[in-house]
Structure 1
Amino acid sequence: MRLFSGLYAWTVHWAGHPRAPWALGGLSAAESSFFPIPPDALLMPMSLARPERALRFAAIATLASVLGGLLGYALGALALSLVAPWIEAAGYAPAYARGVEWAREWGFWVMLVAGFSPIPYKVFTIAAGAAGIPLIPFVAASLIGRGARFFLVAGVIAWGGARLEPWLRRHVEWLGWLSVAALAAGILWLQLG
């Protein structure tokens, strides 16, 4: 099944659009609080299309992701009853319960790891608010974790540039399905761990 090739071609084409940074910021903020698609899906082709702006794109993704994380934090702290049905319907309830438990136990460190890893960050932003992690450590961990992830992705893509694009085009299906498998493994690990 060839799902990712067409999506990759469309995204690379769209990544050069003048409004692409706004879309990246919106996607980054939404993914940190409620949306399922990670910003890497847009950050990578944007960094490939404009390698000289890759670090700027990483900064946009980082700042917008932290702002979206603050929305997730606020939902967990102030409106948990509104998001609880969504958490349940999305199948995140076990992961969310574990996220709250880990947030209470490890605070800053769990947010740092969640910000960098491929596991659903939104689960942890909401859990952090519900667990009452202090806001300053939450923001600091989010900036470091999300920044490390996005600057690493953008930097590697910009560095590889034109040399990397043919390889990506050849292996996009394999990489796409590998990403889906990694996400599924992360969710399973959260639910069973």
Structure 2
Amino acid sequence: MFGPLYSWTVRWAGHRRAPWALGGLSVAESSVFPIPPDVLLAPMALARPNRAASFALIATVGSVLGGLIGYALGYFALYLVEPWIEAADYEQAYRTAVEWFREWGFWVVLVAGFSPIPYKVFTVAAGATGVALLPFIIASLLGRGARFFLVAGLVAWGGARLEPWLLRHVERLGWISVIVLLLGILWVKYG
């Protein structure tokens, strides 16, 4: 199932309108859509390594804009989003996110932005819990930017030889990065 989808994505990555698709996917993923922009960002960086940084910037800006949509949904219209949260089986993740926001605030947005955890859950929870907007935006820019620039940079640097390895280990790398980031945050906060 994923092989043909991946092949289609690689073909689409070279299209002249691919940056628009990447921006749209990034906005949608941060608010309601389940597929992360990395699936388009990586092949685009592979197809045009000299433009990898601009693709990462598009994904970052789009993701933060989508995060603001998710934030607004949580802040103004949580009652409309709650059935979707339940239907998508994100209810437990959402409740956990709300608890974390009450305790950690800014740091949760930063880690969620970088991690493979569904970011949309955290954007909606941030709005629902009333996380301050400016710290939310800053943490989103830092977390999402770090993630997308890392993905684009690694793919552009490693090229085709890195792609199979990255696809095999993307989940593990994501979780290792989250653990390292969490340890860094704990060290800064309590060290």
In the TM superposition, what is the alpha-carbon distance from 1:162 to its structure 2 partner? 4.0
Residue in structure 2 matched with residue 128 of structure 1 by the alignment: 126
TM-score, normalising length from structure 1?
0.85
Residue in structure 2 matched with residue 191 of structure 1 by the alignment: none
Contact kept? 1:116, 1:148, Cα under 8 Å: yes
> Number of aligned pairs?
175
Residue in structure 1 matched with residue 181 of structure 2 by the alignment: none
Residue in structure 2 matched with residue 118 of structure 1 by the alignment: 116
Gaps of 5+ in 2: 179-191
Counterpart amino acid of 1:136? L
Instruction: Give me the whole-angstrom Cα distance separating, in 1, the residues matched to 2:101 and 2:148.
Output: 23
Matched residues, percent identical? 70
Residue in structure 2 matched with residue 25 of structure 1 by the alignment: 23
Q: Deviations over 1:109-155 (max 9, x none)?
A: 00000000000000000000001000000000000000000000000
Instruction: Give me the whole-angstrom Cα distance separating, in 1, the residues matched to 2:159 and 2:27.
Output: 26
TM-score, normalising length from structure 2?
0.86
* 1:68-107 matched pairs, under 5 angstroms: 68-107=66-105
Contact kept? 1:104, 1:132, Cα under 8 Å: no
| SS of corresponding position for 2:82 | helix
Instruction: Give me the whole-angstrom Cα distance separating, in 2, the residues matched to 1:146 and 1:110.
Output: 12
| SS of corresponding position for 1:35 | coil
Residue in structure 2 matched with residue 139 of structure 1 by the alignment: 137
In the TM superposition, what is the alpha-carbon distance from 1:179 to its structure 2 partner? 4.4
* 1:1-193 matched pairs, under 5 angstroms: 3-165=1-163, 168=164, 175=168, 179=171
RMSD: 2.1
